[in-house]
Structure formats: C-alpha cells, structure tokens
Amino acid sequence: MKVGVAKETFAGERRVALVPESAAALKKAGHEVLVQSGAGAEAGFPDKAYQEKGATIVGDRAAVYRDADAVFLVRGLGANPKMGRDDLALMKPDQVLIGMFDPLGEPRSIQELAQRRVRAFALELVPRITRAQSMDVLSSMATIAGYKAVILAADTTPRMFPMYMTAAGTITAAHVFVIGAGVAGLQAIAVARRLGAVVKGFDVRPAVKEQVESLGAKFVEMPLQTAGAEDTGGYAKEMSEEFLRQQRELMGRVVADSHVVITTAAVPGKKSPVLVTGEMVRRMAPGSVIVDLAAERGGNCEGTKPDETIQINGVTILGPTNLPSTVPFHASQMFSRNLTTFLKELTNKEGQLALDMNNEIHRDTLLTRDGEVVHPRIVELLKAS
C-alpha cells in the first residue's frame, strides 16, 4: 500500500500526521511512503529526515492524493471545514483516509466525503477499549493539552505555583482547581502538583477519586446523582440542566478560593456545559486565571471566547482550542504512533486493507464506504438535521 502524508492546511496547525520514525516502520511493514515537501517542517521534521527513513518526498498535494492508496491526516474535512474542502477534488474512489474529521460535530462534511466514494476512518471514534489504547489519539492529544494548560496558567498568573521559605518570608502556594478528571484533567493535576501548587480536582464520576488522589490532589466531593455520566465507549455524556445547576451551586465556593481553574469538560459533538458562571468568576480574586480547554465548543466558563484572552473583573480567561499544535514535535510523534498502529489494525499481512465489520475498531471508526455514510451515529445525525 502507498501511504501519503499531506501538509496540514488548517490555520495554525503545526502537527504532521506521520513522523520519520513511523515512516521507517511503515517501510519495514512493506508500505511505500509519500510525503508532501514541507509537511513536517513546522513540527521539527525536515524533508531530509523522511528521506533518510526511506520515504519519497513529492512536490505538491495533488501528487500525494493521486498516487497514494491511503492518506494520513491530522485534520480532514470536518475538523478542517474551510481548507479541507479543497481536497475533495483531489480524492479518488476507494482511497482510504485516516485522520480526525469531527464527525459528530460536522456530519454534513462526512456526507461530502461519501460522495467522493472514499473510505474514511475517524480517529476520534476509536473505542475506549483496552485493545485500542495504542490507537487513541484523543487521549494522546489530551495528555498534551492538560500539560500545556498548566504551563499557560503558570505563565499568566502573577503568582508562583510552589510554596517558598525565603528571607523575605513565606510565599504561599497557588491553589489550582481542575474540573474534569479525564486524560487532560489528570495530566493537568499531575503537572500542577509537580510545579508545587495545592491542587483540587472534580469529576462527575466518583470512580476517578482514587486517580485524583494518587496524584497528590484532593478530590472535591459533591453529593450529586452521577449514574450514567459516561457512555458505553467511555466518553462523557451530556448531563441534564438540573444536574448542572446543582453542580454549579456546589462548585462556586471552590472556584472562588482558587487562583487557577482549569476546565476540561467536553462532550463529543455537543456544546460544552457551562460549569463556571460569570458570578463565580466575579468572586475570584483579581489576578486569578481560568484556562478553558472546552473553548472550541463554547467553553465551560461563561464568557470564554475561543482562541482569545479576556479579562473579567481582573480575572484572566484563556480559551485555547488547539493546544497540541503548540507542542507539535511530541504531539506529532504521539499522533503518528497512534495512526500507524491503527493502520496495522486495518490491514492484513500483505499490507492491504482487510475490513472486518465484526471488529469493533473497524466498525466504530468507519464513516464512509461505496458512496454512503455507513456509521450509524452519523446517519442518525444527518436524518435529524
């Protein structure tokens, strides 16, 4: 199989879907690798590094799509709604596309892919089962987002995170509150603790209490009915407005006592729940910082603006939407490893696509085939729209 890698066209995207190390692994497995010139440059991977690992550098995007049997993408159409549409004319029937497509948020884009008769696989839909952990790009990218959120907060706050005993007296530690203890939240907790902050964490799933405490943070207990807070795939479910109202009431005091709040609560394909209200923000001390990792879908904090930094009563609110792209070397490395493992899952010993719809990973990630949208969840979204 010829595997192609094109340069990302989404504004500000610095990641690349395949790094030279993975190109070598694909070559060893019998695949040919075609890389658009400059595709990895912004992530720290020059063309020469790919050539040294056996990849062929091609001059333009059209050549990648023309010659490749499978194209690797960080952001395909849907996850790249403007520029991604330009690739439609380059695609050919039965070509395999593997990347992120935001299918739950942009189902109509998946319909456009189907019309090109390609076979598209969405990495966002990799099931959260043990066998698929090595392919889970959402977890990989959330790890980086959680890390970078704390770095951003530490750089923005007028306080230092650790407690210091100095000749000028004791400097008290900053108090950090992390809302949501998924992969991003747990990483944020771990990094904040390593920087010396006093850290608290909260999640609607009581089962994660042990994980939060194992990282040295205090788990904030809230007497709420949380049954059914996650779906069968391990992803967060949308909670009722009454549940969110009660949660906000109980959370207000913790937010007010925090110098840094990091929010991570996102529901795939849905608007982010508002967990930090304007009233909570106004009760925070001047100089406090909120980093809202759910900004791309509206934000967990009332007032968050995607990719903007705003101030409300002296509190700074940051709404980054693509933090993994700000650490492009390691983000690309992790993404690439996930993707190449996924390709191995899809192919037989001869390196050819071998779809098995009884295989949970194949079935749950396949979006389009033979000119049709075949994923049941996307079909339902299209019917409802």
Rg (CA), the chain: 22
Q: 133 near 126, Cβ under 8 Å?
A: no
Q: Give the pLDDT confidence of 236-246 residue by residue, as tens digits.
A: 555 677 777 77
Tell whether 309 is covered by a domain. Answer: yes
Query: How far, in Å, CA of 383 to CA of 147, rounded?
Result: 39
Reduced to 3 states (helix: H, G, I; strand: E, B; else coil), residue 226 is coil
Distance of alpha carbon 9 from alpha carbon 159, whole angstroms: 38
Together in a domain, 103 and 178:
no
- The domain of 56 spans 2-125+347-380
Q: Residue 241 belongs to what H/E stretch? A: helix 241-256
Q: Would you say residue 250 lies in a domain? A: yes
65 flagged as catalytic = no
User: Mean pLDDT, to the nearest integer, of 179-200?
Assistant: 97
- Claim to verify: residue 32 and residue 69 sit in the same structural domain: yes
Same domain, 234 and 306: yes
Q: Which of 69, 87, 102, 136 is catalytic?
A: 136
The reply to whether 320 and 358 lie within a common domain is: no
The pLDDT tens digits of the residues spanning 11-60 come to 999 999 999 999 999 999 999 999 999 999 999 999 999 999 999 999 99
Check 22, 95, 109, 139 and give the catalytic one.
139
Task: Decide if 356 is catalytic.
Answer: no
The whole-angstrom separation of Cα 99 and Cα 368 is: 13
Task: Name the catalytic one among 133, 214, 311, 352.
Answer: 133
Q: Is 282 a catalytic residue?
A: no
Can 128 be counted among the known catalytic residues? Answer: yes
Residue 139 is among the residues annotated as catalytic for this protein: yes
The catalytically annotated residue of 50, 65, 147, 235 is 235
Q: How many domains does the chain have?
A: 2
Pick the catalytic residue from 66, 117, 128, 193: 128
Q: Please answer whether residues 275 and 301 qualify as being in contact, where contact means their C-beta atoms are separated by less than 8 angstroms.
A: yes
271-284 pLDDT, tens digit per residue, is: 999 999 999 999 99
On whether both 51 and 144 belong to a single domain, the answer is no
Can you give the pLDDT at residue 100?
98
Of 109, 68, 63, 106, nearest to 88 (Cα)?
109
User: Which among 188, 202, 177 is positioned nearest to 281, based on CA atoms?
Assistant: 177
